[in-house]
Amino acid sequence: MRATGAATPGSPLDPTASVPATVAVGGAAIPEATVARLPVYLRALTALADAGTTTCSSEELAAAAGVNSAKLRKDLSYLGSYGTRGVGYDVEYLRYQIAREIGVTQDWPVVIVGIGNLGHALANYSGFRSRGFRIVALLDAAAGRRGEEVAGLPIRSFDELESVVAEHRVAIGVVATPAAAAQEVCDRLVAAGVTSILNFAPTVLAVPEGVDVRKVDLSIELQILAFHEQRKAQAEGGAARAADAAEVIA
Amino acid sequence: MRATGAATPGSPLDPTASVPATVAVGGAAIPEATVARLPVYLRALTALADAGTTTCSSEELAAAAGVNSAKLRKDLSYLGSYGTRGVGYDVEYLRYQIAREIGVTQDWPVVIVGIGNLGHALANYSGFRSRGFRIVALLDAAAGRRGEEVAGLPIRSFDELESVVAEHRVAIGVVATPAAAAQEVCDRLVAAGVTSILNFAPTVLAVPEGVDVRKVDLSIELQILAFHEQRKAQAEGGAARAADAAEVIA
DNA sequence: ACCGGTTTGTTCTCACGTTCACAAACTCCT
DNA sequence: AGGAGTTTGTGAACGTGAGAACAAACCGGT
Ligand SMILES: NC(=O)c1ccc[n+]([C@@H]2O[C@H](COP(=O)([O-])OP(=O)(O)OC[C@H]3O[C@@H](n4cnc5c(N)ncnc54)[C@H](O)[C@@H]3O)[C@@H](O)[C@H]2O)c1
Ligand SMILES: NC(=O)c1ccc[n+]([C@@H]2O[C@H](COP(=O)([O-])OP(=O)(O)OC[C@H]3O[C@@H](n4cnc5c(N)ncnc54)[C@H](O)[C@@H]3O)[C@@H](O)[C@H]2O)c1
């Protein structure tokens, strides 16, 4: 059902969101779907640059990013005309333009709240740094964790949130607490001045206008896979792999 | 820009995917966007049930799930007519119907490959179990990790993949290895018979027809937030918080 | 200077997804 | 039994996104 290279249903355009859908303000309007793909292009371009490629066609870049080349060209056209007809795109130049458009030419300071299993993994993740983000503080409510160092940063009290946000001008917060605490933590983050939140807890967060929330939900992803898996099993006549987990209806 | 309660752009409808878009086979066709929301409804219903609620209206459930109530009703209508006009939905009954539709009335066996920072967190995550999944094996290539126990399961050699998949009839695999190894691991998983993959590595995986891939990409999520954050800063006149990370263009 | 080959930027069309609005259907009360 | 009030299920209108197709623009060679 899914084709090679263009293989994924996966992340950004959230059907759970009831929202505008294009992003206008200073520059031109950029469709939300395009915004969600820009980071993918950026990554593909970085990989090409690392491989020593200096120029690439929309076809090549599209293949590397796993999208249709027409879609890629249309996406890029929202940013401007950075290619050369008959030639293609200059990898380094385009990479910079996309990075600038996304806003990751400088680092964004980020706080992580909830340094448990997941918080530790996030704190240790080096991919942040190279992609435009800098973790400036790790906060946790549990007194037991206080003082422990993770990836060179001490775990601090959640009560230090306000001063940390003010000091580093933090705009982005990550919530990695249990679901029960997520809304409360979110409220505190917003009150402290954070206007973008990445939520790992399995809850719907309510936030005031002007605050963006994105969620990463592992169980949802797996359940979507399970749904398709079940359909595949049914398509095979029901005698398939997950027959024990799937009852045939039709 | 985003409204309370319906706050998120967040996950499932991936603009990186060039794909059909409705899911037909045994039962009726269900739009992909709807499939992506069913797990959210399921979670909201579980929360309601835990709170002792036995009946709810589409309005209430929609609020709990963070979506428009018309959208909710239309989504549910794809599954059948499980509500009662003038009354609403029976929480427990609807919960079961959705769980059955998704295919999580029984547990799906899952293997995790790459037990590093992230793999450890995933292995320790209890939310899996309660949502229809059972981790049956942890695999890692590094000999150094061999034998270590995580959450009651031993870390086994990646070479045991085929036998594990065969033994437990595993259909779903999780890739938590470095990006460089992801495609190779993915190929092995597919060859072993896995037909659904959840990928945490920042790479585009190429898979044959019939295999589903979903990706969870933290950096992409953060970059999307950064984009909007930058726009907010520009909207405020450029003198805003992240002025150092955002140049005003006009 | 011109011509063939190549690749972008864009237009046009179609499919998908969201939302409104309302008739059908149910409950409860009189 | 009937009517008022409530809530579902869905038809229709609108907006957004995807992809095919093509004209405009560029390069290199002659
Ligand atoms: N571990 C995973 O792989 C995984 C996967 C998907 C989702 N999640 C979700 O991510 C969240 C964290 O998961 P985890 O496994 O790290 O849990 P965890 O219990 O290991 O860690 C949670 C941490 O949050 C801290 N905390 C609790 N209340 C707090 C508060 N009010 N303020 C600040 N900190 C607080 C706790 O002290 C603890 O350190 C959970 O919501 C979980 O459902 C985890
Ligand atoms: N840690 C995070 O919070 C985080 C966040 C986002 C994305 N990621 C991505 O998730 C992946 C894992 O991250 P991590 O921090 O756990 O990395 P890690 O280096 O801690 O762990 C990777 C593990 O994979 C194993 N491995 C390497 N090659 C393998 C192979 N061919 N077969 C089987 N196992 C192999 C290694 O032995 C190691 O145990 C990376 O691609 C990373 O970019 C991690």
Number of domains in chain B: 3
Indicate whether A206 and A233 sit together in one domain: no
Q: Is the CB of B179 under 6 A from ligand 2?
A: yes
**CA distance linking residue A77 with residue B45, whole number of Å:** 43
Measured between CB atoms, does A8 come within 8 Å of chain B?
yes
Determine the pLDDT at residue A26.
Answer: 59
Binary contact (A204, B8; C-beta < 8 A): yes
How far apart (Å, rounded) are the C-alpha atoms in residues B62 and B69?
A: 5
- Tell me what percent of chain A is helix, strand and coil, each rounded to the nearest 5: 45, 20, 40
CA atoms within 13 A on the CB side of B185: 27
What's the pLDDT band for B243 if we cut at 50, 70, 90?
Answer: very low
Note whether residue B15 is domain-resident: no
Q: Are residues B138 and B195 in the same domain?
A: yes
Is the C-beta atom of B91 inside 6 A of ligand 2? no
Element (H, E) at A112: strand A108-113
> In residues, how long is chain A?
250
Q: Say yes or no: CB of residue B178 within 6 Å of ligand 2.
A: yes
Instruction: Report d(CA A176, CA A160) in Å as an integer.
Output: 17
Angle, helices B58-65 vs B32-50, to 10°: value is 100
Residues A97 and A143 grouped into a single domain: no
The answer to whether B236 contacts chain A (CB < 8 Å) is no
Atom of ligand 1 nearest to the CA of A177: 24
The pLDDT score that the predictor gives to residue A10 is: 39
B113 CB within 6 A, ligand 2? yes
Which CATH number do you get for residue A177? 3.40.50.720
Residue A216 — φ and ψ, nearest 5°? -120, 115
Q: Which of A139-143, A241-245, B68-72, B121-125 has the lowest mean pLDDT?
A: A241-245
User: Which residue range(s) make up the domain with A231?
Assistant: 221-250
Looking at residue A3, its pLDDT comes to 36
10-residue stretch averages of pLDDT, chain A, 250 residues long: 38 64 71 98 97 97 97 97 97 98 97 98 95 98 93 97 98 98 98 98 96 97 98 72 40
Pairing outcome for strands A133-140 and A55-56: unpaired
Q: Do A207 and B9 touch (CB under 8 A)?
A: no
Point out the domain boundary residue: A102, A132, A158.
Answer: A102
Three-class DSSP category at A75: helix
- Characterize the bridge pairing of strands A108-113 and A172-175: parallel
Q: Which residues have any ligand 1 atom within 6 Å of their CB?
A: A 113-119, 140-142, 145, 158, 176-179, 181, 184-185, 200-202, 218; B 121-122, 124-125, 127
Q: Tell me if B210 and A232 make a contact (CB, 8 A cut-off).
A: yes
Residue B181 lies in a domain: yes
Residues B138 and B198 in one domain: yes
Cβ within 8 Å of A, B 126-145: 127-128, 131-133
pLDDT tier at B37 (50, 70, 90 boundaries)? Answer: very high
Confidence of residue B237 (pLDDT cuts 50, 70, 90): low
Across A173-185, b (16+ Cβ under 10 Å) vs e yields bbbbbebebbbeb
Phi, psi for residue A4 in degrees, rounded to 5 = -55, 135
Decide if pLDDT at B250 tops 50: no
Alpha-carbon distance of B65 to A206, in angstroms, equals 11
Token readout for B68 is 């428009």
Tell me, yes or no, whether A62 and A90 share the same domain.
yes
Of the listed ranges A8-22, B131-145, B160-174, the one predicted with least confidence: A8-22
Q: What is the pLDDT of residues B191-200, one digit of tens each?
A: 999 999 999 9
Mean pLDDT of B64-79: 97
Burial class (CB in 10 A: 0-12, 13-18, 19+), B34: buried
What is the reported pLDDT for A225?
A: 98
Is residue B3 one of the residues assigned to a domain?
no
Contact A125 B218 (CB under 8 A): yes
Cβ neighbourhood burial of B100 (10 Å; 0-12, 13-18, 19+): middle
In this prediction, residues B223-229 reach a mean pLDDT of 98
Is the distance from CB of A164 to CB of A137 less than 8 angstroms? yes
Residue B93 covered by a domain: yes
User: What is this structure's pTM?
Assistant: 0.91
**Arithmetic mean of pLDDT, B64-78:** 97
Compute the count of residue pairs across chains A and B with CB atoms less than 8 Å apart: 428
Distance, CA of A200 to CA of B99 (rounded, Å) = 22
**Residues B136 and B212 grouped into a single domain:** yes
CA of B214 to the centre of ligand 1 (A): 23
Same domain, A165 and A232: no
Same domain, A115 and A87: no
- pLDDT for B4: 37
Proximity of residue A85 CB to strand D below 7 A: yes
Region label for A98, one of left (φ > 0), alpha (ψ between -120 and 50) or beta (otherwise) = alpha
Q: What is the pLDDT of residue B24?
A: 61
A187 shares a domain with A232: no
Task: Give the position of tokens 């005309």.
Answer: A81
Concatenated DSSP letters for B62-90?
A: HHHHTS-HHHHHHHHHHH---EETTTEEE
Question: Residue B239 above 60 pLDDT?
Answer: no
Residue B130 and residue B58 share a domain = no
Helical H segments across chain A, by residue range:
32-50, 58-65, 69-79, 91-102, 117-124, 127-130, 161-168, 179-192, 218-235
Q: With bands split at pLDDT 50, 70 and 90, how would you rate the model's confidence at B25?
A: low
Three-state DSSP at A217 gives coil
Q: Mark which residues 17-46 of B lie under 8 Å from A by CB.
A: 17-20, 23, 25-27, 32-40, 42-44
User: Rounded to an integer, what distance in angstroms lies between the CA atom of residue A220 and that of residue A213?
Assistant: 17
* B246 within some domain: yes
Domain's final residue, options B84, B102, B120? B102
For residue B240, pLDDT over 60 is answered with no
Report the chain B residue with the minimal C-alpha distance to residue A220: B39
* pLDDT (mean) for B229-242: 71
CATH number of the structural domain spanning residue B91:
1.10.10.10
Please report, rounded to a whole number, the percentage of residues in chain B having pLDDT higher than 90.
80
Q: Does A92 fall in a domain?
A: yes
Cβ separation A196–B18 shorter than 8 A:
no
Q: Which residues of B spanning 80-109 put their CB closer than 7 angstroms to strand D?
A: 81-89
